[in-house]
Amino acid sequence: MTDAFDVVVIGAGPGGYVTAIRASQLGLATAIVEREALGGICLNWGCIPTKALLRSGEVYDQLGRLDPYGLSAGERAYDFGKVIARSRAVAKQLSGGVAFLMKKHKITVVDGAARLEKGAPAPAVVVALKDGGERRLTAKSVILATGARARTFPDIGLAPDGDRVWTYREAMVPATCPSSLLVVGSGAIGIEFASFYRALGAQVTVVEALPRILPVEDDEVSAAAQKAFEKRGINFRVGAKVTRLATTKAGVTLDLEVGGKAETLQAERAIVAVGIAANVEDMGLEALGLKLERGHVATDVHGATNVPGLYAIGDVAGPPWLAHKAMHEGVHCVEHIAGFPSAGLTAPIPGCTYSTPQIASVGLTEAAAKAGGREVRVGRFPFRANGKAIASGEVDGFVKTVFDAATGALLGAHLIGAEVTEMVQGYALAITLEATEAELFATVFPHPTMSEAMHEAALDAYGRALHI
């Protein structure tokens, strides 16, 4: 059985399904192939269900901090099974929403594992169907949106064992909450799980090989985050090389080398959060001669690979490994295929960590801007000087801005505090519109809001802050 389409998308995560929708909107006959569940890792095992878990943890934590607000609610308790069940229900609901969107946009959904074969004008897609048999798809263009999976190192024990050692998948559906937990890796995934399990009472230690946690963030934010997490009871071992993770009858042991000295940590469970690996295996890509770079599919600014008619977007095409980046890449890619003129995806891509406190950033860090030879003007504004933050009892954290001293262009912004992931898009828009300090000074921020700290941080870079 062979079906012909204009576009076949492989992978129905955020990048893939959004790409398929845009292709359909452009009048292209579109099919999408998914081997697991619509919504991919993000909706089923990543972005969305983790936020449901984190919200449960936040609410439970707030129940323990009611007295300053003049409130009481009796003894705190949680049903861990219900916490997990709510997270899974949220994932199921959104996956069902993607199915609705596919039907609405008349996109053909093919359930199964895809394999690519040589063909023209693009590789043919042969799908091993979930319910048996094969289905052959041909298209003018094929777009890889196969995403990535947790990176593991089995030779030193950094790999899931189905019980005591977890990746993000196992960490989202355990039968019980562990009393103690080791988290290897302090990127967004590791920090978010550390925040969730600590909120529910687990003793948590985060291990990071680099000298500081959240290494992609601005130095000041990284330092402030560690201090805030330590205040909440999370322990850290930075500059720590893992030499071996092993399971025992009681739990796990983690052997480290810190400053040339050996050290061993013990806990009930461990989470491996040391990055991701692109899903490029078992699809016939080698036979096509597809070019890879550092394990990811090499593309040009439009997502085109070295194989005619074959494109790649999202995590499989390299960092930053973010769902919103994949969505925008996919839209741009398919618009390019449809003949839209474009220079490529040039807008800055914000990053968020949904811990307590939250962390968000966009553009260049102060260090990166200086390393690029720029003279900068830096502004800072603490939430402890913001009226809404004081009224809300959320005074921890700050906003930091980085401007080009010569042109006034906003180069980057870095935030830590309550709900900053809902605020950073203001700076992302400013950078996209090539705003300078003048436009930010002239923007009217509503009062009282925590977003006023964004205005003040811009003013502070030029010695004009009004409330500090």
Q: Hey, which residues are catalytic here? A: 447
Q: Look at residue 336 and give its three-state secondary structure.
A: helix
Q: How do 180-184 and 203-208 pair as beta strands?
A: parallel
Strand segments, DSSP code E, in 210-333 are 235-238, 240-247, 252-258, 261-267, 269-272, 276-278, 292-293, 296-297, 310-312
C-beta separation of 414 from 361 below 8 A:
yes
Burial class (CB in 10 A: 0-12, 13-18, 19+), 181: buried
Side chain identity, residue 272:
V
Task: Pick the closest to residue 31 from 145, 147, 149 (CA basis).
Answer: 145
Indicate the DSSP class of residue 289.
Answer: T
The sign of the torsion formed by the CA atoms of 183, 188, 194, 200 equals: negative
Please enumerate, as own/partner, the contacts of 439-444 that have beta carbons within 8 Å and a separation of 24 or more. 440/410
Query: How far apart (Å, rounded) are the C-alpha atoms in residues 32 and 14?
Result: 12
Task: Pick the closest to residue 16 from 280, 314, 299 (CA basis).
Answer: 314
Side chain identity, residue 323:
A
Q: How do 358-363 and 410-417 pair as beta strands?
A: antiparallel
